Chain A
Amino acid sequence: MSGKDWRDVIAVADLEKNWVTRVEVGRRLIAVYDSPSGVYASLALCNHGGADLCDGYFDGHVIECPLHQGAFDVRDGRPVAAPATRPMRVLEARVEDGMVQVRM
């Protein structure tokens, strides 16, 4: 048991296609990514400067921060462009019955 539960966060139909969608879950802001290989999720704030990644540019599997264009691979959080140097916090995500679920 991981102690984390799957939670419905948004309907798949409401996701911005091939883009990033901002979702509020309780007090948390989450970024949900509609990518070519499925749905991924991460905490929404960039771990470099604190800007909201949901206003950034999303292409393929890379989310780019709107403030400094630091970038992360949404599949594993790996930083792919400076000034991002630390992995971003990704959340397990899946689609069940037309809903995006995130484990948190």
Chain B
Amino acid sequence: MTHGIVTPLTQALAEGKLTRDELKSFMQRSDGPALRRLTLWVLVLAGTTTLIALTWNSWLIWPAMFLQGIVLVHHFSLQHECVHYTVFRTRKLNDIVGQICGLIILLPHRFFRYEHCDHHTHTQLTGQDPEQIPMPKTYGEYLLYLSAIPYWRAKFTEVLRHASGRLSDVEKRFIPKEEHAAVYRDARMMLGIYAVIFVAMALTGWWGLIWYWIIPLFLGEPVMRFIRMTEHVGRPTVAQMSDNTRTNLVSAPWRFLCWNMNYHAEHHYVASVPYHALPRLHEKLRDHIHVEPRGYFGAHLDILRQIREARG
């Protein structure tokens, strides 16, 4: 008998952690919940944008831009869900919204999709997982990562490499040949759109997007780095999904911003489950995965403890 490869999902089904009927019910998709959430999302963005406008001539613009930045960098979470086609039932909407998110945070959607698929195949396996964030060996490395400087350096290098028609050896492993040209085109289009935006600002003399978008994005990215670290960093570098991924129990505002991606182990178990069903899936799998009840800060306390212990 030919069998599919063993995945966390097949294991969960085989071990009775999940029944086929439950799986089917968790996977059901709908446009409604995401459209409602997206409406609230836009209202939140409008709110933080208004705060910047209201504080324009005051030092308070900096905390206002930081708040805006926290929302902006969470477009990564929405784009991530779109990569999995789990935000909207209408498949095209996932592509459109994902591409808009990618434009906001400098992450071409098609490339991210391929890279992220490889992350799901080789989660937390050193040398194979293209999204693996290495466990910092020192407090300095830890802080450097949180600064987002290495992240931005990597992203700009990546997009420029693709725009110049090149892929790294690692990227060639997970992007099929027939898609190379499309990846190059995406990067060129993205840079082209940025160029048009900057030229338009120069021509009009209105540089508002620097203050509403660019500076907030850079101010907010350390928050996203802080969150991204909690997903796998400090967990064992093994294939076992119940060990290599951390679910963080966080408050409702953070769950809203990250599209429930704090239920990260559940997501890795069954990536086809939409964000709105992850809390229900959590109730089914909570005893079979690693859960950090203290949330993001608890995860970082765990990471810092491991750095301290490794340094002896």
Q: Which residues of A contact B176 (CB under 8 A)?
A: 83, 85
Q: Which residues of B contact A57 (CB under 8 A)?
A: 27, 29, 272
Task: For residue A90, give the distance in angstroms from its CB to the closest CB of chain B.
Answer: 16
Q: Is B188 an interface residue (CB 8 A)?
A: no
Q: Is A8 an interface residue (CB 8 A)?
A: no
Q: Which residues of B contact A19 (CB under 8 A)?
A: 24
Q: Which residues of B contact A55 (CB under 8 A)?
A: 4, 9-10, 13, 23
Task: Name B271's contact: one of A62, A66, A82 (CB within 8 Å).
Answer: A66
Q: Is B287 an interface residue (CB 8 A)?
A: no
Q: Which residues of B contact A56 (CB under 8 A)?
A: 272
Give the CA-CA distance A62 to B5 in the complex, in Å. 21
Task: Name B272's contact: one of A16, A24, A66 (CB within 8 Å).
Answer: A66
Q: Is B179 an interface residue (CB 8 A)?
A: yes
The residue on A at minimum CB distance from B114 is A83
Q: Which residues of B contact A76 (CB under 8 A)?
A: none
Known A56-B272, A57-B29, A69-B272; judge A80-B5 contact (CB<8 A).
Answer: no
Give the CA-CA distance A81 to B113 in the complex, in Å. 10
Q: Which residues of B contact A24 (CB under 8 A)?
A: 1
Per-position contact with A for B282-308: 1 when CB-CB < 8 Å, else 0? 000000000000000000000000000
B91 near A81: Cβ-Cβ < 8 Å: yes
A59 near B89: Cβ-Cβ < 8 Å: yes
Known A52-B10, A57-B27; judge A28-B2 contact (CB<8 A).
Answer: yes
B24 near A83: Cβ-Cβ < 8 Å: no
Q: How many residues of A contact B (CB 8 A)?
A: 31
Q: Is B7 an interface residue (CB 8 A)?
A: yes
Q: Which of A43-69 contact B (CB under 8 A)?
A: 44-46, 49-53, 55-57, 59, 62, 64, 66-69
Q: How many residues of B contact A (CB 8 A)?
A: 32
The residue on A at minimum CB distance from B26 is A57
Give the CA-CA distance A85 to B3 in the complex, in Å. 21
Q: Which residues of A contact B13 (CB under 8 A)?
A: 55
The residue on A at minimum CB distance from B273 is A57
Q: Which residues of A contact B239 (CB under 8 A)?
A: none
B7 near A66: Cβ-Cβ < 8 Å: yes
B113 near A44: Cβ-Cβ < 8 Å: no
A69 near B85: Cβ-Cβ < 8 Å: yes
Give the CA-CA distance A70 to B89 in the complex, in Å. 15
12 residue pairs bridging A and B, Cβ less than 8 Å apart = A24-B1, A29-B1, A45-B2, A51-B4, A51-B10, A62-B91, A67-B121, A67-B271, A82-B110, A82-B179, A83-B174, A83-B176
Instruction: Beyond A19-B24, A55-B4, A71-B85, list 11 extra A-B contacts (CB 8 Å).
Output: A44-B2, A45-B4, A51-B5, A55-B23, A57-B29, A66-B271, A67-B9, A67-B120, A69-B272, A82-B114, A82-B117
- Please list the residues of chain B having a beta carbon within 8 angstroms of any beta carbon in chain A: 1-5, 7, 9-10, 13, 23-24, 27, 29, 83-86, 89, 91, 110, 113-114, 117, 120-121, 174, 176, 178-179, 270-272
